[in-house]
Structure 1
Amino acid sequence: MSVVGRFRLIVPGATAKPAPKMGQALGPLGINMMNFCKDFNARTQKVRPEVPLQCTLVPKTDRTYKFFLRTPQAQWFLQRCARIPKGGDYGAAAAPVGNITLKELFHIAKAKSMDPQLVGVPIRTICLSLIRTAKAMGILVSKELQPEFSKRDDQPVEALQALKAFQALRKAARRKRSETGSGGPVALTTSKQRKQQRLHLCKVCVGFAWLVQVRKHLLPAFSPGCWRLVVHLVQRERWPLWGGGADCSAGSSNGRRQRGCRSQRSSRRPATRCSG
């Protein structure tokens, strides 16, 4: 009889039910889902329902198991205190999306100090770790609530899950609309790819807006010959012009001046990036 491994699960407290995700984790280990749910609910019957507890499962070769419980993740505590469904997409690089006080942060640290791996760790160390986590989520930590977040507590905590689902549906609809309604050769990327790459919108001298998606150090490598190839593709494939106006034609100098493009007077000059 030996230990197979350690597996981490996030299970709602006191209301664990057989689910596909749980079956994918417990099925290969030969653990009965019903028995695991009964044992888990019996141990967490004094916990508030639907609290996402962290569970470390240790199965053995004879199909027996034991599990350890931990408090919810720090992100869950911070989101509940700040009354936001999710953290900011850009963290500390953008405006804060929520605000919590130092007193609330201290109570979160007291709750996290009950985890087995944090037993004996000073509260100050846990608070500093929570401050860094809040900063990465775009949550401002201050002594008192800021004026722009003074009405934070008016939003009920129970509505956060519904608000998160609504935002996910709206984001999916926006992504689907952008995929089906793109008129030109625009490369669709995910948010992670948009962070790794820069999108440069450059207007060619023929009045066509071309979306160049390259890294910053590759942009100067575009020569006038590359732009002439782009112009040839535009004329052959008849891609739509930026804005679709008649003044933005290939032979119109007025259209170029109205669009604000800087024309290339000599073919020896490198490709210039126009202000979009």
Structure 2
Amino acid sequence: MSRQSGRVMKKLAEKVDHSSRLRTNIPAGMAVAGPPLGPMLGQRGINIAAFCKDFNERTKDIKQGVPLPCRVSVNPDRSYQLAIHSPPATFFLKQAAGIQRGAVEPGRETAGKITRKHLYEIAKIKLQDPPNALLTLQQMCEMLVGASRTCGIEIVDRLDSEDYQRFLDERKIILEEQRQKRQEAREAKMTRTG
């Protein structure tokens, strides 16, 4: 191998990027330089303040605090490409069900209910994300059925608003009981180890 070709090969080797893409969820309009986002960006050599300003500007029309899955690719010159996807399916499912959290024990308890129409509408939104571009509407609906099961959300044909409100009121009582049990378990553990 000649000296000239050795230099060319060395230059090519220097341009290879071995950094991984950053995959994270960032709340819409709430990107800040502090942890956890700041250190992740800093490790990759991205200008943190410029990134936060760019992200917040691009998400200003979305309700603040909505979690947005983001993919960031860093170029050798420390510039970046930012791809912002729609919120996670579980976020949409919980919003449609009107709940904050999923079931503690999915399969044994129901955290909320949605109609098939809700499922269909969420599937249409999620199909617009690049990772789901090759899926059919039926495949996306099947994926959402699985996600709803893991959250403890039941899919029904019809939902009566008064019945569902009673269900949610009863659910609040169950959630409070679960919270108290967890608190008691933590306190018991503290007394044993203390």
| Same fold by TM-score greater than 0.5 | yes
Instruction: Give 1:45's aligned residue.
Output: 60
Change (3 A) 1:22 1:152: farther
Distance in 2 (CA, whole Å) between partners of 1:27 and 1:171 is: 41
Deviation at 1:149, TM superposition (A): 5.1
1:29 to 35, 44, 48: 44
The CA deviation at 1:89 is 2.3
Cα deviation per residue 1:210-239 (whole Å; 9 max; x = unaligned)?
xxxxxxxxxxxxxxxxxxxxxxxxxxxxxx
Q: Which residue in the other structure is 2:148 paired with? A: 134
Deviations 1:54-97 (A, max 9, x none): 100111332221111111111111111112222112212x0312
Is this contact kept in 1: 2:31–2:37, CA < 8 A? no
Give the aligned partner of residue 127 of structure 2.
113
Secondary structure at 1:11 match in 2: strand
Match of 1:9 among 17, 24, 32: 24
Question: Which one of 46, 54, 58 corresponds to residue 73 of structure 2?
Answer: 58
Give the distance between the partners of 1:26 and 1:168, measured in 2 at CA. 38
Counting matched residue pairs gives 173
Kindly name which structure, 1 or 2, has the bigger radius of gyration based on alpha carbons: 1
| Equivalent residue number for residue 123 of structure 1 | 137
CA–CA distance in structure 1, aligned partners of residues 127 and 149 of structure 2: 20
| Code of the aligned partner of 1:123 | L
CA distance in 1, matches of 2:60, 2:155: 33
What secondary structure, in the 3-state scheme, does the structure 2 residue paired with 1:27 have? helix
- SS in structure 2 of the partner of residue 89 of structure 1: coil
- When residues 82 and 22 of structure 1 are mapped into structure 2, their CA distance, relative to the original with a 3 A threshold, is same
Matching residue of 1:82? 97
Distance (whole Å) between structure 2 residues aligned to residue 25 and residue 91 of structure 1 = 33
Structure 2 residue 183 is matched with structure 1 residue 173: yes
Matched, 1:71 2:86: yes
Task: Give the direction of change, closer, same or farther, for the CA distance of 1:169–1:69 in structure 2 (3 Å limit).
Answer: same
Residues of 2 paired with 1:171 and 1:23: CA distance? 36
Look up the match of 1:200: none
**Aligned equivalents of 1:88 and 1:154: distance in 2?**
13
Q: Would the aligned equivalents of 2:112 and 2:168 in 1 still touch at CA under 8 Å?
A: no
C-alpha distance in structure 2 between counterparts of 1:47 and 1:167, whole Å: 35
Query: 2:43 aligns to what SS in structure 1?
Result: coil
> What is the CA–CA distance in structure 2 between the aligned matches of 1:24 and 1:66, rounded to whole Å?
18
Higher relative CO (Cα under 8 Å, sequence separation at least 6) belongs to 2
Instruction: State the match for 1:245 in structure 2.
Output: none
Alpha-carbon distance, 1:181 to partner: 4.3
Q: Structure 1 unaligned runs (5+)? A: 156-163, 188-276
The TM-score normalised by the length of structure 2 is 0.77
Query: Scaled by the length of structure 1, what TM-score is found?
Result: 0.55
Task: State percent identity of aligned pairs.
Answer: 30
Letter in 2 for 1:75: T
Structure 2 residue runs of 5 or longer lacking an equivalent are 1-14, 170-174
Q: Quick check: which one's helix share is greater?
A: 2
Contact 2:32 2:38 in 1 (8 A): no
- Report whether the alignment pairs 1:145 with 2:172: no
